[in-house]
Every structure is written in C-alpha cells, then in structure tokens.
Amino acid sequence: MTPHHKEAGLTAPRPLTLQDYRTLALAALGGALEFYDFIIFVFFALVIGQQFFPPDIPDWLRQFQTFGIFAAGYLARPLGGIVMAHFGDKLGRKRMFTLSIVLMAVPTLLMGMLPTYASIGIAAPLALLALRILQGAAIGGEVPGAWVFVAEHVPARHTGYACGTLTAGLTAGILLGSLLATLINTSFTPAQIADWAWRLPFLIGGVFGLIAMYLRQWLEETPVFAEMQAKKTLAQELPLKTVLQQHKHAVLVSVLLTWLLSAAIVVVILMTPTYLQKQFGIAATTSLKANSLAIIALTVGCMLAGRIIDRIGSGLTFILGSLLLGASSHHFYNTLAIDSSQLYVLYALTGLCVGIVGAVPYVMVRAFPAAVRFSGLSFSYNLSYAIFGGLTPMAVTLWLKTNPLAPAHYVLALCGLGLLLGCYLLWQEQRRR
C-alpha cells in the first residue's frame, strides 16, 4: 500500500468482490432514485406554476416564482450538506446515507399530495417552498455522502470506477425523470395533467425513495470509518473547522472541479433541449429524444472516465477529457447552427464526453484525509454547486442575448479551466512520485 493510499484512508489493494459490486449497485440505485426526486420538479414546472400561484398574475411572474422555488433547493444544499457531513464524520457514513433518502422521499411524497392555491391560497406555494428546501438539504448530503461511502468500500485502485459508477447512477436519475415526464405527457391530456396527473411523478418518486431506503438497510458501514472508530481517530474538533484551517488548497481544487462538473451537466444536459427548440426551431419531441440519448451516453461516459482515471491518474484524464469535451461540444453547437440532420449522433457524442464529470469525485475523495473527508468534500461540492449551478443558467441566458452560441463558448471556457486543473494535477502526481 503506497503512503498516498494510507494517507487517503482508502481500503487496501485487493480485487473487487461480489460484496463490492452489491454495495455499488445499491448505492447507485439509491442515488438514481433520489436524484429523480430532486429534478422531477423541473419537468413539471409549467403546470406547478399554474396550480400553486394566483391565476391572475402575469405568466412570466408565475414562471419566475416557480423557478425561484426550484432554485431554493440548490440554495439549501450547502447547509444540508454541511450538517449531514458533520455527523457523517462523527457518527458514521451509513447513518447519514439512510437519513438523506428519508429527507428526500417524504417531501417528494407530500408534494404529490399538496392542496393547490385554489384550495388553500398563499399557504400552497409556501408549503411547496418548505418541502423544496428539505429536498435540497437531502441532496446536499446524499451526493458527497454516496461518493465517500463507495470510495471507502472498494480497494484504492478501484476508487475511480466506484465513483464513476455512482455518478452514472445519478445521471440515470435524470434520464428516469425525463422518460417519466415524456410518458405522462403522452398518456394524458393537458387537462388531465393540470387536474391530477402532475401529482403522479411525485407520488411515484416518494414510493421509489422509501424502496431505496429499505434497500440501504443491507449496506454496511465503510471499513475506513469502522477502523477510525475502533482506533479512536475520529475528528476531535468540528470537522469543517479542520477543513477550513488545514485543507484550503484541497477545497479550492474541489470547488473548481465542481464548477466544471456543474457547467457540463447544467448547460449540455439540462439547458440544451430548450435552447435547441428556441434557437434552432427543433421540435420539442425531437430535442427530448436526442437529450435522452445524450444522457444514456453520459451514463456510459461516467463509468468509462472512472475506469480511465484508475489506470492513468487524474492529471492525464482531465487533460484528455477537457480537450474532448471542448472539441465535441463546440462542434455540436456550431454544426447545429447550420444543419440539424446530425443532431442525434453529435448530441450523443457530446454526452459521452460530458462523462468526464465521473472522474471529478475521484480527485475530491483523495484530496481530504479520512477523518474530515465527508465534511471537506461536501462543503466544497455544495458551495460550488450552489454558486455555479445556480448562476450558470442565468449567465448563459443573459449571454444568449448578444451571442447565439453562448452555451458553446461557456462550456469551452470551462474546458480551458479543466485543462489547467489537469496540468496542475499531473504536476502534483509527478512531484509525489
């Protein structure tokens, strides 16, 4: 075992066992179901706005308020992540991993049962906002917690694969949301959806969450945490205080890598279907089908990136990944501006290259020592996602007023950042050797 692996607090070299694969499968499935719960809101934002706000306000104001409630989930992420990570470093990874899924499933189920504005007036949007904040707190603890959990279960040389597989599970949750939204929109009339069918994805999501919670009972505490508990080497003071005092450098690298991750996911996967419809006049059904294809390619890409980073290290992976994402996304947007006949192929290829995000958690779980790993990763990831994940759609939308290829240029700029981070990580690896 290399000094670096000891320092990282990851498990000793051995092959992946059946138990490892079971842990990965259960963690990824839970992550997919929880991520579905978090994002299903955005697919039904239009109808939610009509049900939860006064009918006599302007349409733009209703939309703005609805997306404000959606954004509140992002803003609640850092607080939820910090609190849950604190207890994850003090009491155990597994307990927080189970708590996060309860915190997500119950509000999602309740969203599907909420009375509308017509029934209870202003209390309806306020109740929706409160439930959305709880969802944000849950996802803030879930994603970093899941990465730490799987990384500490598998052998050190498979950390990338474990983190990549889990990230693939999260992206599968987006696909699940997209497919269910498509199914509901094709199975029911707009009147039926407005009347009651919009509740179905929330009720289904709540049930999904409770099933995932049941499945997580079969997971065991990570060997790394169990060892720290036995040797009494858990963080003595506030874990976050230690992170901010001793690991500022690791926080900065993690924040910048999360910016790359959020830009790729938010712009290429979440914003592009609407952009294709508005900018290039591509039909909604066509752009959503192409988007589903891109998400499937992204899921594969995350697992590939995890495999590659285990083999060649983080520096080269981010140099190559950033170059590929920059080239493919630039080609995708520029080609569609002239000719949309290659939409499916180019979107799928770009989605595959967005898979570089699957390599991000590998760097983050190794950047912090085991005693404060959950707190360090959670603070960096959630702070960065709250700022950049929240501001990216606004920044790109404003930029579109003067530049029709704003998404291409924004992603390209972030790939430049990824390239610089790759060079820095490569220099660090060589210095360590």
Contact status, residue 263 vs residue 388, Cβ threshold 8 Å: yes
Instruction: State which amino acid sits at residue 59.
Output: D
Whether 10 shows a pLDDT value over 70: the answer reads no
Give the lowest-confidence range in 64-68, 115-119, 137-141, 234-238: 234-238
What was the pLDDT predicted at 1?
35
| 390 vs 397: CA distance, rounded Å | 12
Other residues' Cβ atoms within 10 Å of the Cβ of residue 168: 24
Q: Could you report the per-residue pLDDT of 64-96, keeping only the tens digit for each?
A: 888 788 878 888 888 888 888 888 888 888 888
Q: What is the pLDDT averaged over residues 151-180? A: 91
Stretch 47-62: mean pLDDT: 86
Q: Average pLDDT, stretch 146-161?
A: 91
pLDDT in tens, 24-41: 888 888 888 888 888 888
Residues 6+ apart with CB under 8 A from 406: 396, 399, 400
pLDDT reported for residue 159: 93
Q: Which candidate, 283, 33, 288, 34, places its Cα nearest to that of 178?
A: 288
Say what the pLDDT of residue 5 is.
Answer: 43
pLDDT of 45 reads 79
- Domains along the chain with CATH numbers: 16-232 (1.20.1250.20), 235-433 (1.20.1250.20)
pLDDT of residue 22: 86
Q: DSSP 3-state assignment of 341?
A: coil
Identify whether the C-beta of residue 78 lies closer than 8 Å to the C-beta of residue 136.
no
Predicted structure pTM score: 0.87
Percent of the chain topping pLDDT 90: 47
Phi, psi at 11, each rounded to 5°: -70, 160
Model confidence at 209, in pLDDT bands (50, 70, 90)? confident
Structure tokens that stand for 362 in this block: 């590998």
